[in-house]
Amino acid sequence: MEALGIESASFIGNSMGGIVGVNLAIKKPDRVSTLVTIGGVGPNVFTPSPSAGPYWSMMHKMACPTLLTWGRDDRVGPLDMAMVPMRLIPQARAARVPELRPLGDDRGQACL
């Protein structure tokens, strides 16, 4: 961004890209004007898989407006992973998208 003279930008990240965006928003809040995540960026609350990492405990430091999107039937990043980010990110909104599924989903054509 510095090399291109970009002071801040909007970011969108799917899965791990969302986690990268969250980490950037925590570490360099002046660089992230808005953030959209697709899928799991928080710890699992009700599902039995492990959490993605301790970054979620720092989400309260995020200053940018953030839209957390989830696929209703996403089996990779279940909806319960939105609960902690929704509570911690000051300007968070969530959207559940019925048709949104991960690429390569075995139930048919992916919507990403």
Task: Tell if the pTM clears 0.85, that is, is over it.
Answer: no
Does residue 5 register a pLDDT over 80?
yes
Q: pLDDT by residue (tens digit) across 57-100?
A: 889 999 999 999 988 777 777 777 888 889 999 999 988 887 66
Q: Does domain 9-97 have CATH number 3.40.50.1820?
A: yes
- pLDDT, position 111: 45
SS (H, E, C) the chain: CCCCCCCCEEEEEECHHHHHHHHHHHHCHHHEEEEEEECCCCCCCCCCCCCCCHHHHHHHHCCCCEEEEEECCCCCCCHHHHHHHHHHCCCEEEEEECCCCCCCCCCCCCCC
Looking at the chain, the whole-number percentage of residues with pLDDT higher than 70 is: 81
Q: How confident is the model at residue 108 (pLDDT cuts 50, 70, 90)?
A: very low
Q: pLDDT by residue (tens digit) across 18-71?
A: 989 999 999 999 999 999 998 878 777 776 655 556 777 889 999 999 999 988
Ranges of each domain in the chain: 9-97
